[in-house]
């Protein structure tokens, strides 16, 4: 998987011809900044900007990103129709709050809270939903001190 800055990517990797408008570009840029700001002082995306394109070797592409520090990770993903299965004809967005595994045998990460929205029929709707889920993450970051997420881990 290749990770590419939003500004350096080709929207045609995931947006059908004619659907990537200036409004969508602006919304993604705002969402990226907003995600980066959810955890001040932490890391944001592999490109350090928040959101980025993730391009698979088979040409499939999604917009994903994260903000994290040593205590908690906030991740989001926006997938176009057909990303996981050719039968999916709608856009999907999910957001997740997770902590690093603290088991003796490391299983990766533990999801503490998540949201998923499926059945989105247009790129405009999908990008607006991504903005809403990032807003949800920002709200949860404001409500819950970073050190408290570990205590809320259901697999703890």
Q: Which is nearer to Zn ion, 48 or 103 (CB)?
A: 103
Length of the chain: 156
Binding residues for Zn ion restricted to 87-146, rule: CB under 5 A: 101, 103, 107
Q: What are the beta bridge partners of residue 76? A: 65, 95
Spatial contact of 64 and 54, defined as CB atoms under 8 Å apart: yes
Q: Which is nearer to Zn ion, 22 or 107 (CB)?
A: 107
Q: Which is nearer to Zn ion, 57 or 154 (CB)?
A: 154
Shortest approach of Zn ion to residue 155 CB, angstroms? Answer: 6
Number of residues that bind Zn ion (CB under 5 A): 3
Q: Mark residue 99 as left, alpha or beta (left: phi above 0; alpha: psi -120 to 50; beta: remaining).
A: beta
Q: Which is nearer to Zn ion, 36 or 110 (CB)?
A: 110
Instruction: Show the site string, 45-84: x = touches Zn ion by CB under 5 A, - = not.
Output: ----------------------------------------
The residue sitting closest to Zn ion, measured at its beta carbon, is 101
| DSSP, residue by residue, 50-99 | SEEEEE-TTS-EEEEEEEE-SS-EEEEEEE-TTSS-TT--SEEEEEEEEE
Task: Decide if residue 156 touches Zn ion (CB under 5 A).
Answer: no
CA distances from 79 to 46, 64, 90, 115 (A): 18, 8, 9, 14
Q: Which is nearer to Zn ion, 90 or 111 (CB)?
A: 111
Name the residues that contact Zn ion, by CB under 5 A. 101, 103, 107
């Amino acid at each position: 998987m290749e990770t590419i800055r939003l500004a350096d990517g080709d929207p045609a990797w995931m947006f059908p011809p004619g659907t990537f408008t200036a409004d969508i570009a602006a919304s993604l840029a705002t969402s990226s900044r907003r995600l980066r700001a959810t955890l001040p002082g932490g890391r944001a995306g592999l490109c350090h900007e928040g959101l980025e394109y993730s391009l698979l070797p088979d040409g499939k592409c999604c917009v994903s990103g994260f903000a994290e520090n040593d205590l908690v990770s906030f991740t989001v993903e926006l997938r176009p129709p057909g990303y996981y299965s050719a039968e999916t004809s709608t856009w999907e967005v999910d957001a997740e709050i997770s902590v690093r595994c603290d088991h003796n045998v490391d299983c990766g990460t533990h999801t503490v809270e998540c949201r998923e929205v499926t059945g989105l029929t247009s790129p405009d709707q999908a990008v607006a939903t991504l903005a809403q889920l990032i807003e949800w993450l920002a709200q949860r970051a404001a409500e819950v001190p970073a050190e408290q997420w570990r205590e809320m881990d259901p697999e703890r």
